[in-house]
Amino acid sequence: MNARPLPPDRRQLARTLRKEMTDPERRVWHAVRGKRFSGFGIRRQVPIGSYIVDFVCQKRKLVIEIDGEQHGWPEQAERDEIRTRWLEAAGYRVLRIWNFEVMTTFEVVLERIYAALQEGEEGP
């Protein structure tokens, strides 16, 4: 899968998104950063192709997206499906988690992330 180089404005957007995380993203980040999460290296707001994903574990080729309510709207759901198909074609698995799940069932969310990391194949 040929990825287009990330334009400088997208790179800057990734930096901005790292500084301005949502509360659910921040909550997940505090749990998984610095290889705290069973030794898996997880990065946040990472450019992959022309997209910026919320979290990624490159070793397991797992993208974790924390979705707000707008992702339930038909137009956004369609864009998310296109994005997911592109990421899967690039060799990633995509785990989507709703904001409300992070805020109401956090331990279950962490278990889902851990299970997805365990099933993943090691990447390069």
Where are the chain's structural domains?
Answer: 21-118
pLDDT at position 2: 45
What is the C-alpha to C-alpha distance for residues 74 and 36, in angstroms, rounded to an integer? 36
What is the C-alpha to C-alpha distance for residues 43 and 100, in angstroms, rounded to an integer? 22
Residue 20 exposed, middle or buried by CB count within 10 Å (0-12, 13-18, 19+):
exposed
Average pLDDT in the 44-62 region?
Answer: 92
107 phi, psi to nearest 5 deg: -65, -40
Q: Does domain 21-118 have CATH number 3.40.960.10?
A: yes
- The average confidence (pLDDT) of the chain is 83
pLDDT at position 17: 56
Task: Dump pLDDT digits (tens) for 66-111.
Answer: 987 665 546 777 888 999 999 999 999 999 999 999 999 999 999 9
67 phi, psi to nearest 5 deg: -105, 130
The yes-or-no verdict on residue 1 having pLDDT over 50 is: no
66 touches 92 (CB < 8 A): no
pLDDT at position 61: 95
pTM to 2 decimal places:
0.79
